[in-house]
Amino acid sequence: LEVAQQHKLDLICRKLELKPGMTLLDIGCGWGGLAAYAAKNYGVSVTGVTISVEQQKLAQERCKGLDVNIILEDYRDLNEQFDRIVSVGMFEHVGPKNYATYFDVARRNIKEDGLFLLHTIGSNHNKVNVDSWISKYIFPNGCLPSIQKTAEAMENKFVMEDWHNFGADYDKTLMAWYERFLASLPEIESN
């Protein structure tokens, strides 16, 4: 799983065509894994944005000594130009009514010749249909975006240059997470 994660991070950085000295905005930076990887392996200056205090603390620790700034801020309040923008696993939490705003913010914060990489779980269906358990425990107020809704929201803002489906890989990831959860269950239950 760790090797696969490194491969994914490197693929993202290569798709972004990162070069030393570039600036990278990581919208919804989570625990800082991509920010740390990009700064360490590609020599870029990374700004990660999150609305989670816990994620900010861990990401700052993970990125200590690297050219990374993890800020606690709503991505919609950002107003700074970056060479590249990336967002991994955050778009699912935006919700359809905010898709256009999301892409407006990305457009506003990217340099004219910049690249924006969006990594999201998607759906083949245009209808918003979220399982109640998933909505409560996994993606509160979120949903899986459809190709059509995503394309409509980014129209006249970005040109789609690449579409990469990781569906088969994600199934393996989910199963690996499940196995790790089961292996950790006795420890979890004892606490």
HEC-encoded secondary structure of the chain: CHHHHHHHHHHHHHHCCCCCCCEEEEECCCCCHHHHHHHHHHCCEEEEEECCHHHHHHHHHHCCCCCEEEEECCHHHCCCCEEEEEEECCHHHCCHHHHHHHHHHHHHHEEEEEEEEEECCCECCCCCCCCHHHHHHCCCCCCCCEHHHHHHHHCCCCCCCCCCCCHHHHHHHHHHHHHHHHHHHHHHHHC
pLDDT at 44 over 70: yes
User: What mean pLDDT comes out for the span 28-39?
Assistant: 98
What confidence score (pLDDT) does residue 2 get?
86
Q: Would you state the pLDDT for residue 125?
A: 65
* Predicted model pTM: 0.87
pLDDT at residue 59 tops 70:
yes
The mean per-residue pLDDT over the stretch 85-110 comes to 94
What rounded mean pLDDT belongs to the chain?
90
- Model confidence at 163, pLDDT cuts 50, 70, 90, reads confident
Under the banding of pLDDT at 50, 70 and 90, the label for residue 129 is low
Percent of the chain with pLDDT over 90: 60
- CATH superfamily to which 2-190 belongs: Vaccinia Virus protein VP39 (3.40.50.150)
Instruction: Tell whether the model's pLDDT for residue 56 goes beyond 70.
Output: yes
Residue 99 scores a pLDDT above 70: yes
